[in-house]
A and B are shown apart, each in its own frame.
Chain A
Amino acid sequence: MERDSSVFLLGEDIGEYGGAFKVTKGFLKHFGNDRVIDTVLAESAILGAATGAALAGMKPVAEMQFADFVTNGFNQLINNSASIHYRWNLPVPMVVRLPSGAGIHGGPFHSRNPEAWFFHQPGLKLVAPATPYDAKGLIKAAVRDPNPVLYFEHKRLYRHVKGEVPDDDYVIEIGKGDIKRPGSDCSLITYGATLHPSIEAAALIEQQDGVEVEVIDLRSLAPLDKDLILSSVRKTGKVLIVHEDSVTGGIGGEIAALVAEFAFDHLDAPVKRIGAIDTPTPFAPTLEEYFLPNREKILAALKELAAY
């Protein structure tokens, strides 16, 4: 925002209040009310207005207060933002920030991981950082991208993950994954909040069984870093895909298909997937814990794969 005066924020409660998660705390005072705009409670209008402002040469960053509420503006993203460049040959440089994910006892309407709905739509870029370093590099890349970028920020990571963030101006290229832990026995492909239990499970299985798991953090979901996925799988011959979104119709399915199509000859075991169970997000802690993937479930799956 300091660098480019055409960047502005719009969303519900983002100004005076600083956002439901205080992500934009202090922004209003610093940038003024032409750059930080509290809107009416109307997600379709917010996303449509961001699209229009982008068409007119601005770089809007729209916030969905919770990722769950993006359903109210779904049509704008699918039929306008995503398809305008193809149809009209005009860039739509907009970012939508989507505080997503479960594990905070938010119940069915404040816990959603909606990335797979948008993954199917050509014309959208999707990113899901899991570390503070990547969060900064990806938000800068998203703002500078000439396309609509959906930026999924997992709510539980706001307070549960800490890490170094350099002061300098760096970007992380959209479409590039990152090997967060190298290994040669199994590829664990993940993104977002499940990166952390995945790394823990990888450390445990190494301690317990000496199995070396390579943990790939996709960081970008669209475009997918197919080269990184396939080169890792060709090296290890075993694949576990982990995401917090529910399994059926999740992005893991596409990754599994990619592996089956292009690295079948290298596989030594069936591709495994771990995600939330196929239900709405339940509220009670016991139910939510059962619903979500966790370190133990990931470790058990890794052990199964290691046995092949």
Chain B
Amino acid sequence: MAAAVKSKRERSAVSRSRKSAEPHLAKDDLLQLYYYMRLTREFEDTIVTLYRQGKIVGGAFSGNGNEATAIGSAYCLNKEDYIFPMHRDLGAHFVKGQTVRNLMLQHLGRENSPARGRDGTGHYADPLLRIYGNISHLAAMIPVAAGVALACMLRKEHSVVMTYIGDGGSNVGDFHESLAMCSVMKLPLVLIVENNQFAYSTPIAKQFIVERLSDRAAGYGIPGFTIDGTDVEEVYTVCKQAVDRARKGEGPTLIESVTMRMHGHSVNDNAEYVPQKLLDGWKKKDPIVKFEKQLIEKGILSRSIQEELGKKISDELDEATQFAVKSSYPAPQEATVGVFAE
């Protein structure tokens, strides 16, 4: 239930709208969300395997625990909308139309990857799909997303821009500068803070003392919501309202999605600093397991559909992996090409 909001006014606004015009997800949508969540997790598991086999250079990140947030939010967007996902939002790329193959190529840094080997993981842009990846200074993308939102407003387009930041990243000046700018200009931006309890090794108690990160919305006079980031339907419902609001020209919304980073910061981090009890507690709220259970209870998901999806996903991953592993790295002298646009 998305009730944790800053003011009573906002809270009642949410509960009212949930009763009356709650965004509706049809059976096919729910199955699609389920597919994306499983695909994401299995893709990331494949990446870890490839990493351990030495087939991946650089690092590898896991969004385990964040699937519902990334996918439920991105699912609110239209083709014309823009998304700026982070490194734990792999699923958002799929939802926005990116292929398994392209993302695999990205992770392997091949010449035919979207970033042509210039950068890895989700650090690429696909202007046709309107996906703009992050840089490692994560919060630095929020002003850029705001600029795209500004362009949309100036051109009187009705596109919305969605972007993400973490609990740690929400302390960076760019987070605050962007909210200041977007609120005053009423820019169509939806900013989702993924509160996954840790910024690398630093627990949230050392990152902020507000009760909820959505409380920070009040400082900018915009709506703020805190949601259960492990519940894909709740994520969708609240994000959809924020997207609709932005599309109507009513300005930005800040959403704190509370979840858990179930793995280390990267594949190189064994996360010994995370108390086992905390992990055990969150394990019970695994977004995929939870959603699966709900879908089975509703009679939407059957064992045969589950198996069918499992087969489809493993085929897609196998095909993409084989293709990517066989693909070449860029030729060394390619390093000199493309600093400037001609």
Number of B residues with CB within 8 Å of any CB on chain A: 40
What's the Cα separation between A10 and B127 when bound, in Å?
Answer: 24
Contact A50 B147 (CB under 8 A): yes
If the complex has contacts A58-B154, A146-B341, A147-B341, are A89 and B147 also in contact, measured as CB distance less than 8 A?
A: no
Interface: B14 (CB within 8 A) = no
If the complex has contacts A49-B150, A57-B151, are A79 and B140 also in contact, measured as CB distance less than 8 A?
A: yes
If the complex has contacts A52-B148, A56-B152, A123-B339, are A40 and B180 also in contact, measured as CB distance less than 8 A?
A: yes
Q: Which of B134-168 contact A (CB under 8 A)?
A: 135, 137, 140-152, 154-155
Interface: A308 (CB within 8 A) = no
Contact A56 B116 (CB under 8 A): no
Range for the number of chain A residues in contact with chain B: 35 or more
Across the interface, B118 reaches (CB within 8 A) one of A52, A54, A86, namely A86
**Residues of A contacting B173 with CB < 8 Å?**
44
- The smallest C-beta distance from A304 to any residue of chain B, in angstroms, reads 38
Using CB atoms, name the residue of chain A closest to B152. A56
Contact A85 B340 (CB under 8 A): yes
What's the Cα separation between A89 and B181 when bound, in Å?
Answer: 28
Which residue, of A8, A49, A84, A91, has the highest number of chain B Cβ atoms within 10 A? A49
Interface: A24 (CB within 8 A) = no
Across the interface, B123 reaches (CB within 8 A) one of A49, A58, A87, namely A87
What's the Cα separation between A165 and B116 when bound, in Å?
Answer: 45
- The smallest C-beta distance from B152 to any residue of chain A, in angstroms, reads 7
Contact B181 A80 (CB under 8 A): no
Interface: B262 (CB within 8 A) = no
Interface: B104 (CB within 8 A) = no
Q: Which of A37-87 contact B (CB under 8 A)?
A: 37, 39-40, 42, 44-58, 60, 75-76, 79-80, 84-87
Which residue, of A39, A58, A86, A123, has the highest number of chain B Cβ atoms within 10 A? A86
What's the Cα separation between A79 and B181 when bound, in Å?
Answer: 21
- The smallest C-beta distance from B309 to any residue of chain A, in angstroms, reads 32
Determine the main DSSP class of B at the interface with A.
helix
Interface: A122 (CB within 8 A) = yes
**Residues of B contacting A37 with CB < 8 Å?**
150, 185
**Residues of B contacting A56 with CB < 8 Å?**
82, 147-148, 151-152
- The smallest C-beta distance from A278 to any residue of chain B, in angstroms, reads 29
**Residues of B contacting A42 with CB < 8 Å?**
177, 180-181
A-B contact count (CB 8 A): 125
- The smallest C-beta distance from B94 to any residue of chain A, in angstroms, reads 19
Using CB atoms, name the residue of chain A closest to B136. A79
Q: What does the 1/0 interface line of A122-163 toward B look like (CB < 8 Å)? A: 110100000000000000000000110000000000000000
Contact B342 A45 (CB under 8 A): no
Contact B137 A75 (CB under 8 A): yes
Contact B140 A76 (CB under 8 A): yes
Across the interface, A88 reaches (CB within 8 A) one of B82, B125, B178, namely B125
If the complex has contacts A8-B154, A39-B181, are A80 and B340 also in contact, measured as CB distance less than 8 A?
A: no
Across the interface, A53 reaches (CB within 8 A) one of B116, B150, B174, B341, namely B150
Interface: B250 (CB within 8 A) = no
**Residues of B contacting A90 with CB < 8 Å?**
125, 127
**Residues of B contacting A79 with CB < 8 Å?**
135, 137, 140
**Residues of B contacting A86 with CB < 8 Å?**
118, 338-339
Q: Which of A99-132 contact B (CB under 8 A)?
A: 122-123, 125
Q: What does the 1/0 interface line of B293-318 toward A look like (CB < 8 Å)? A: 00000000000000000000000000
What's the Cα separation between A42 and B118 when bound, in Å?
Answer: 30
- The smallest C-beta distance from B123 to any residue of chain A, in angstroms, reads 7
Interface: B1 (CB within 8 A) = no
- The smallest C-beta distance from B252 to any residue of chain A, in angstroms, reads 13
Interface: A34 (CB within 8 A) = yes
**Residues of B contacting A122 with CB < 8 Å?**
339
Contact A58 B137 (CB under 8 A): no
Contact A80 B144 (CB under 8 A): yes
Interface: B184 (CB within 8 A) = yes
What's the Cα separation between A46 and B155 when bound, in Å?
Answer: 18
Across the interface, A55 reaches (CB within 8 A) one of B118, B144, B184, B185, namely B144
What's the Cα separation between A17 and B144 when bound, in Å?
Answer: 26
**Residues of A contacting B150 with CB < 8 Å?**
10, 37, 49, 52-53
Interface residues of B (CB under 8 A from A): 82, 115-116, 118-119, 123-125, 127, 132, 135, 137, 140-152, 154-155, 173-174, 177-178, 180-181, 184-185, 338-342
New A-B pairs, 15, CB < 8 Å, besides A52-B151, A55-B147: A40-B180, A40-B181, A42-B177, A48-B178, A49-B144, A52-B143, A53-B154, A60-B147, A76-B143, A79-B135, A85-B341, A87-B124, A88-B125, A91-B341, A147-B340
Interface residues of A (CB under 8 A from B): 8, 10, 34, 37, 39-40, 42, 44-58, 60, 75-76, 79-80, 84-93, 122-123, 125, 146-147
Offer 7 A-B interface pairs, CB within 8 angstroms, sorted by A.
A44-B177, A45-B177, A48-B140, A51-B144, A75-B137, A75-B174, A88-B132
User: What are the 9 A-B residue pairs with the smallest beta carbon separation, nearest first?
Assistant: A52-B147, A48-B143, A49-B147, A56-B151, A42-B177, A45-B177, A146-B341, A52-B144, A91-B341
